[in-house]
Structure 1
């Protein structure tokens, strides 16, 4: 097979071909790079249109990814390796090391993927975090919770998207919490094992979106998170504003965490809670945040996170100068109860009429007739119905526009019969 040479640097993208959540990442990366992909199936749709070559391999299997990457390297001069898929981080780092390219070491990515290792390294470096104990049985979980003190959080050691994460407010809630978290741990990545019982951190939850190049980290934006459906931690909304007043407070802690874990390159998504005693780390993800956070950052600041990530992977100096001064918000649409979605529609004209703020993007994730299931019976993919993205000159404008868009929604769910 022969391919014509291109003036654009070639990047290998490992996995991450979900167009719903990651389509904008592909579009940004393709603006300055030729893209080749390693994934479990041939690329199709938007992604397929942006890809110049591919190899089929399980993106979570490091050996398979390396073999596929070497095959692509035989046909192209590869300038970098990149993924925005949490579960493909270790295989992508393994391929990066094999090709001798810029990127995080396998050791650093493993430290991020296994939250138990994250806690240990943060503690050793003096970075404020949460007390945490790895357990492998309900009995061990009860002992750890008693030692830490209620409330506690149980979570799989190496999962993502809040899968298996639950709060236990008192000893009577621990058994059910253990069963939920342990079920999630049965499906987690191989980089970690068991369930973590952790100190519950109270206070606003945020993430700091960072860029690291050659070990030097810069905090680019703060994402404020809105969480619902306690005792679970489903994220139902995010907001980003340029020059968030929290940035000077949380940025140093985010940089300290990245350094402690050995993160040297790329975009990272550093989650923390701002407690009464200051910011404390929840976890560190060595990739772009999910749920359209990158889109919000771009609309609020003009900074293109996937484009920056692609530049770093290709050993190019990214442009970190903000070009916009505003704010953006997203509402992730959930049903009020589990059941069958019978109707979903949006009066787009009414939704877009909200003063200085505007409805910028929206879409559906579920169709009428689909079952929608909230936790503990359903996952994120089974619960979300759609999303609304708004922006405006100020955070108040963006949130007001989001409220107006929500008011223009019609969501009807026929509840499931009581058990």
Structure 2
């Protein structure tokens, strides 16, 4: 591999073509990139200058891969948008002497038990939380907290293993579900958390931090379904969302409490009767194409912003759009074999406001809803639209969904 004429940006993991493809494409438009991933590049080969194969969740392996790349190229920065590689990426940036977060801060973000402790110590409005290892401990903690409670793995993501429990009688089944999810979680935390249930609409605040100074960029309104599970099935970003001035200070406070100094953050919270309260801080670009929604609504390019910060540059935070963007993620009516998958009302030619229609499952494939499945097994497709207002975006999504036919054979 020949040495690049320009310093490279190392991207660690995050190579799902549907949900992270735009991140690589937008980053590669600004920087030559090298990839560290669990397998060689395929669809993104034309965007990558060099690569190393490594276990992206193993800091030792990622550092070794990064040092190999640094022996061949000058490196400008290191970035990830993969939740499970945050600690490894921080370790590599430290070893290379590049801008980035400390491994302590990234571990605090990954381990929700540590996050809750730091929120409490810094006066960040959050939820009462107890880490437990057994059903007996969970029962004691739930009774002390008061029902309903939420059980969740300490260091997982994407709502895997997260369940609401309304009564003591439901705890044993809920414990089996949460502890099964905890068995798959990252090494940064352990056990299951028993937490106070925060009642109210769920949102996230998309932020950027540089040299410890955090700026809130946008609010994402979330649609959560499949109770008592917390499956996210839709998101809306409005450039003029009036919530931003109210929730921005709390998001900034939460990021600071965890010791995060650089990068893009996805700060989740609920709007409760006592005010906004933090669910968690993810120190990376949000999933479910929320970064794409932010760009469509505001013009802000989160992958480019993250790359600039990682390379020690001042990001451009100038808004160039003022719109609403929304995504609806399509789920089947039941678990089974997908037998019909049709969206009949898409106009031809496709209207400019319909930015994406992507199928994630083909007819003949098995789809599995919670609790037996999760987002990886349940999602069939997605739609992204833009409009002048949230109400208009919802109407466009509803109109499209009205022509949707999804059937399964048990």
Q: Establish whether residue 394 from structure 1 lines up as the match of residue 389 from structure 2.
A: yes
Q: What CA RMSD, in Å, does the superposition of the two structures yield over aligned residues?
A: 1.3
Shift of 1:346: 2.0
- Aligned-partner Cα distance in 2 for 1:49–1:182: 41
What CA deviation, in whole Å up to 9, does each residue of 1:82-105 have, x standing for no partner? 001100110000000001111111
Q: Equivalent residue for 1:254? A: 251
What CA deviation, in whole Å up to 9, does each residue of 1:23-51 have, x standing for no partner? 00001100110000111110101x21110
- Give the match's secondary structure for 1:350: coil
Q: Equivalent residue for 2:214? A: 217
What CA deviation, in whole Å up to 9, does each residue of 1:52-90 have, x standing for no partner? 000111101100000000000011110000001100110
Q: Establish whether residue 273 from structure 1 lines up as the match of residue 270 from structure 2.
A: yes
What CA deviation, in whole Å up to 9, does each residue of 1:388-413 have, x standing for no partner? 00001211221111111112222111
5+ residue gaps, structure 2, are: none
Q: Equivalent residue for 2:404? A: 409
- Aligned-partner Cα distance in 2 for 1:99–1:335: 46
Q: Is the 8 A contact 2:333 2:407 kept in 1?
A: no
- Aligned-partner Cα distance in 2 for 1:163–1:35: 31
Q: Establish whether residue 191 from structure 1 lines up as the match of residue 201 from structure 2.
A: no
Shift of 1:351: 8.5
Q: Equivalent residue for 1:5? A: 5
- Aligned-partner Cα distance in 2 for 1:81–1:353: 38
Q: Equivalent residue for 1:145? A: 142
Q: Equivalent residue for 2:283? A: 286
Q: What does 1:328-343 correspond to in 2, within 5 Å?
A: 328-343=325-340
- Aligned-partner Cα distance in 2 for 1:339–1:2: 50
- Give the match's secondary structure for 2:20: helix
Q: Equivalent residue for 2:346? A: 349
Q: What does 1:23-38 correspond to in 2, within 5 Å?
A: 23-38=21-36
- Give the match's secondary structure for 1:331: strand
Q: Work out which of the residue numbers 367, 373, 381 in structure 2 matches 1:378.
A: 373
Q: Equivalent residue for 1:65? A: 62
Q: Is the 8 A contact 1:151 1:170 kept in 2?
A: yes
- Aligned-partner Cα distance in 1 for 2:215–2:83: 21
Shift in alpha-carbon separation, 1:271–1:351, aligned structure 2, 3 A? farther
Q: Is the 8 A contact 2:333 2:406 kept in 1?
A: no
Q: Is the 8 A contact 2:56 2:85 kept in 1?
A: yes
What CA deviation, in whole Å up to 9, does each residue of 1:120-178 have, x standing for no partner? 00000000000000000000000000000000000000000000000001111111111
- Give the match's secondary structure for 1:382: helix
- Aligned-partner Cα distance in 2 for 1:28–1:2: 23
Q: Work out which of the residue numbers 117, 128, 132 in structure 1 matches 2:129.
A: 132
Q: Is the 8 A contact 1:352 1:359 kept in 2?
A: no
- Give the match's secondary structure for 1:281: strand
- Aligned-partner Cα distance in 2 for 1:394–1:92: 38
Shift of 1:358: 2.1
- Aligned-partner Cα distance in 2 for 1:188–1:50: 31
Q: Is the 8 A contact 2:93 2:100 kept in 1?
A: yes
Normalised to the residue count of structure 2, the TM-score between the two structures is 0.98
Q: Equivalent residue for 1:51? A: 48
Q: Equivalent residue for 1:264? A: 261
- Aligned-partner Cα distance in 1 for 2:82–2:392: 32
5+ residue gaps, structure 1, are: none
- Give the match's secondary structure for 1:366: coil
Q: Is the 8 A contact 2:271 2:277 kept in 1?
A: yes
Q: Equivalent residue for 2:239? A: 242
Q: Equivalent residue for 1:312? A: 309
Q: Equivalent residue for 2:91? A: 94
Of the structure 1 ranges 25-34 and 397-406, higher mean CA displacement relative to structure 2 is found in: 397-406
- Give the match's secondary structure for 2:363: coil
Q: Establish whether residue 173 from structure 1 lines up as the match of residue 166 from structure 2.
A: no
Q: Equivalent residue for 2:20? A: 22
- Give the match's secondary structure for 1:180: helix
- Give the match's secondary structure for 1:108: helix
Shift in alpha-carbon separation, 1:353–1:29, aligned structure 2, 3 A? closer
Normalised to the residue count of structure 1, the TM-score between the two structures is 0.96
- Aligned-partner Cα distance in 2 for 1:352–1:312: 40
